[in-house]
């Protein structure tokens, strides 16, 4: 059995319609801009990360909920190799995002949770009861009752991965000490620690979470990996011309976890995930931009120097 299949991932996460408007520049407060193009994609941080895991070779089951007109999203996940037994349909609006993407590929997002905030306690319990000790529980911050999910996962002997995105004030009170792996970006890290400089930020997180592996993503500057012992290690990322950065962080999370499950070190996993994320930003959309494993392995452009 391939290493990635020894332990599975249960991802309790969001499923969204991404309504993407391409614009010359992102609208500022009080400003109206003209959209150049409009497209609808499958998205949601949770769904994107499940697809990234599947395309990286991991065995992943998704737990989530869609609403009116959202059954196509469940079918899309299934078609990407994600288990959807625990994706239910409710008589309510599907979660969706309104996304502006400017000429440089940067984005601005308004998120409506919809059915993502309607996952019931019974649905969570049934899904987690089907996981085996040693499996991974992956969580983001686009579904309801994250602290309860973390506690339930720990009670069942699952290894917990938290990507605290999008960052909100309640995240500061989450039981972060239950996480085995924390993957976050600079903005999220600063909100948790009050530190903006990466080294100080990581030091603050390691003091709070001494037993966790922490991966700090730095966009075009790559990432830094802080393990339980030793200094934080810088990881370089390929230099590319971005078309659309939507979903790059989700691609990173999925690939990083998949490679860890295979037995790679956190630094090796982060390096591979940086390459996958860099390839994803050269394509439009979120879920649709996530590359397959063979594409990542055959695409190795020159690397930037890491930030040290």
pLDDT, tens digit, for every residue of 43-65? Answer: 999 999 999 999 999 999 999 99
For residue 251, give the nearest of 53, 62, 97, 113 by alpha carbon: 53
pLDDT, tens digit, for every residue of 248-294? Answer: 999 999 999 999 999 999 999 999 999 999 999 999 888 999 999 99
| Sequence-distant (≥ 6) Cβ neighbours of residue 211 within 8 angstroms | 177, 180, 228
* Dist. CA 231–CA 226, nearest whole Å: 7
Catalytic residue list: 250
Q: Which residue has the tokens 């730095």?
A: 218
pLDDT, tens digit, for every residue of 95-124? Answer: 998 999 999 888 898 989 999 999 999 999
Question: What pLDDT does 36 receive?
Answer: 96
Distance (Å) of CA 104 to CA 26, 112, 219, 223, 245: 10, 25, 14, 21, 9
Distance (Å) of CA 263 to CA 33, 132, 179, 243, 268: 48, 18, 19, 32, 10
* Dist. CA 136–CA 248, nearest whole Å: 21
Specify the fold of 3-15+45-94+119-298. Answer: 3.40.1190
Question: What pLDDT does 307 receive?
Answer: 45
Average the pLDDT over 16-38 and give the result: 94
Question: What pLDDT does 225 receive?
Answer: 97
Quick one: what percent of the chain has pLDDT higher than 90? 83
Kind and range of the H or E run holding 64: strand 60-68
Average the pLDDT over 136-143 and give the result: 98
Give the SS3 label for residue 16: strand
Question: What pLDDT does 301 receive?
Answer: 76
For residue 216, give the nearest of 192, 238, 241 by alpha carbon: 192
Q: Which residue has the tokens 């602290």?
A: 147
Q: What is the DSSP string of 94-157?
A: PPEEEEEE-TTS-EEEEEE-GGGG---HHHHHHHHHTS-TT-EEEE-SSSS-HHHHHHHHHHTT
Average the pLDDT over 186-208 and give the result: 96
Enter the tokens of residue 73.
Answer: 């999203």
Give the pairing of strands 159-162 and 136-139.
parallel
* Dist. CA 242–CA 253, nearest whole Å: 19
Average the pLDDT over 115-143 and give the result: 96
**64 and 45 in contact (C-beta within 8 Å)?**
no
Distance (Å) of CA 236 to CA 43, 71, 167, 270: 27, 39, 25, 9
**213 and 182 in contact (C-beta within 8 Å)?**
yes
């Amino acid at each position: 059995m391939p290493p990635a299949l020894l332990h599975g991932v249960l991802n309790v996460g969001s499923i969204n319609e991404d309504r993407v408007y391409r614009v010359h520049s992102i609208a500022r407060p009080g400003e109206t801009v003209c959209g150049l193009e409009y497209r609808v994609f499958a998205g949601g941080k949770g769904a994107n990360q499940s697809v990234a895991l599947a395309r990286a070779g991991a065995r992943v089951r998704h737990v989530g909920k869609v609403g009116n007109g959202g059954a196509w999203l469940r079918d899309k996940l299934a078609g990407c190799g994600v288990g959807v037994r625990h994706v239910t349909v409710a008589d309510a609006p599907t979660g969706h995002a309104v996304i502006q993407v400017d000429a440089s590929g940067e984005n601005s997002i308004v998120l409506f949770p919809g059915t993502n905030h309607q996952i019931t306690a019974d649905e969570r319990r049934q899904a987690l009861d089907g996981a085996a000790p040693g499996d991974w529980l992956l969580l983001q911050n686009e579904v309801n009752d994250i602290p309860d999910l973390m506690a339930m996962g720990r009670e069942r002997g699952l290894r917990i991965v938290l990507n605290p995105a999008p960052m909100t004030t309640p995240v500061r009170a989450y039981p972060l000490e239950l996480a085995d792996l924390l993957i976050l970006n600079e903005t999220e890290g600063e909100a948790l620690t009050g530190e903006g400089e990466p080294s100080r930020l990581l030091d603050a997180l390691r003091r709070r979470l001494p037993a966790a592996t922490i991966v700090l993503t730095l966009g075009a500057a790559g990432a830094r990996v802080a393990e339980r012992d030793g200094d934080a290690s810088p990881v370089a990322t390929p230099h590319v011309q971005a078309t659309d950065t939507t979903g790059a962080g989700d691609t990173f999370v999925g690939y990083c976890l998949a490679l860890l499950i295979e037995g790679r070190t956190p630094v090796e996993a982060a390096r591979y995930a940086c390459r996958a994320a860099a390839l994803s930003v050269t394509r439009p959309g979120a879920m649709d931009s996530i590359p397959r494993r063979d594409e990542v392995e055959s695409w190795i452009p020159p690397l930037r120097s890491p930030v040290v």
